[in-house]
């Protein structure tokens, strides 16, 4: 028995890092944040891009389904806009007061002796504000967000990934100059799916985001993570499945029904200890907090 205990103690834990999505993962969908965000996106499309309101629902659904986010889809089909302005409009009016401090989740996170990172499609300002409202700002080593994967405004599709760094460094999204719409016609994605043409392909987006496997691989590269030793927490089924394709272990949050691609399923992130007890059994029990004003200010170098 003594030998078994010593052997178990010396075994390397299964995971090196826990990678968490933020929205609807660390707080519930019932908060109303996602609903408000969706409405703000639709309002932006009408008020800032001049899209007919009657087309908004169908268009936004097609863009989200085909590009991962409505924002990425808008850029793909030809709309150009300032990324910071978009995020300010979409997130600036969210009901953050609905997010309350979560001491239960905080204690869970602090008791996990692993690297812990946020990986979100949203911008840094939103991520920091949401984590602060939840009282979790010092529970994570850092945040991989929109600016991390898209450090400079790209007006065309590019495979250049130089100068990409973890949020907390100098990478920023540069404002863009409005393009002449007559020179860059908008791709009719609604018409494309209404009357498919085998000779027409969907345009690519310059924005890198989940569920693109490229986005996930880039995030792993930036944070120096081995996918085989990383546990990925997400509320999105397609993000879970994309993560599985690049080798991540995964936890679907928001339902207890495990789907293809998910190693675990949690009705709530609060059920983590019951659903994945080995996280505590494998590691040395200790509190892991990250000092400093905000975790986002700490870069990853390990």
For residue 108, the SS3 value is helix
How far is 114 from 102, CA to CA, in rounded Å?
20
Q: Would you state the pLDDT for residue 301?
A: 33
Given a contact cutoff of 8 angstroms between Cβ atoms, the answer to whether 289 and 111 are in contact is: no
Q: Would you state the pLDDT for residue 5?
A: 52
Q: Would you state the pLDDT for residue 196?
A: 87
Phi-psi region of 264 (alpha: psi -120 to 50; beta: other; left: phi over 0): beta
Q: Would you state the pLDDT for residue 194?
A: 94
Q: Would you state the pLDDT for residue 161?
A: 38
Q: Which residues of the chain have pLDDT under 70?
A: 1-10, 153-183, 282-302
Q: Would you state the pLDDT for residue 154?
A: 47
Between the alpha carbon of residue 238 and those of residues 123, 220, 230, 243, 260, the distances in Å are 20, 18, 18, 8, 10
Between the alpha carbon of residue 220 and those of residues 20, 91, 161, 230, 235, the distances in Å are 12, 26, 13, 9, 19
pLDDT per residue over 17-31, tens digit each? 999 999 999 999 999
Q: Would you state the pLDDT for residue 170?
A: 39
Q: Would you state the pLDDT for residue 156?
A: 42
Q: Would you state the pLDDT for residue 186?
A: 96
Q: Would you state the pLDDT for residue 292?
A: 47
Tokens of 133: 């409202």
Cα 288 versus chain centre, distance: 22
Closest CA to 269 of 76, 62, 27, 63: 27
For residue 297, the SS3 value is helix
Q: Would you state the pLDDT for residue 287?
A: 47
């Amino acid at each position: 028995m003594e030998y078994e205990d010593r052997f178990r103690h010396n075994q390397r834990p299964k995971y090196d890092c826990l990678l968490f999505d933020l929205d609807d993962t660390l707080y519930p969908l019932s908060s109303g944040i996602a609903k408000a965000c969706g409405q703000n996106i639709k309002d932006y499309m009408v008020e800032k891009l001049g899209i007919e309101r009657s087309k908004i629902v169908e268009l936004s659904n097609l863009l989200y389904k085909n590009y991962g986010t409505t924002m990425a889809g808008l850029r793909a089909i030809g709309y150009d806009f300032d990324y910071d302005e978009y995020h300010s409009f979409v997130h600036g009016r969210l009901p953050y007061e609905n997010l309350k401090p979560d001491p239960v989740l905080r204690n869970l996170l602090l008791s996990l002796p692993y690297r812990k990172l946020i990986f979100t499609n949203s911008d840094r300002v939103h991520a920091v504000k949401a984590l602060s409202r939840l009282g979790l700002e010092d529970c994570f080593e850092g945040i991989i967000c929109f600016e991390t994967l898209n450090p400079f405004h790209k007006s065309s599709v590019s495979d250049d990934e130089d100068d990409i760094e973890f949020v907390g460094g100098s990478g920023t999204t540069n404002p863009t100059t409005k393009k002449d719409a007559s020179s860059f016609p908008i791709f009719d994605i609604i018409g494309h799916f209404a009357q498919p043409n085998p000779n027409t392909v969907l345009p690519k987006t310059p924005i890198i985001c989940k569920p693109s496997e490229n986005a996930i691989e880039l995030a792993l590269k930036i944070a120096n993570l081995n996918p085989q030793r990383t546990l990925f927490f997400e509320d999105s089924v397609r993000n879970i499945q994309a993560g599985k394709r690049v080798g991540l272990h995964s936890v679907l949050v928001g339902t207890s029904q495990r789907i293809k691609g998910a190693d675990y399923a949690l009705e709530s992130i609060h059920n983590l200890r019951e659903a994945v007890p080995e996280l505590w059994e494998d590691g040395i029990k200790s509190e892991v907090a990250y000092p400093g004003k905000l975790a986002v200010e700490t870069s990853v170098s390990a």
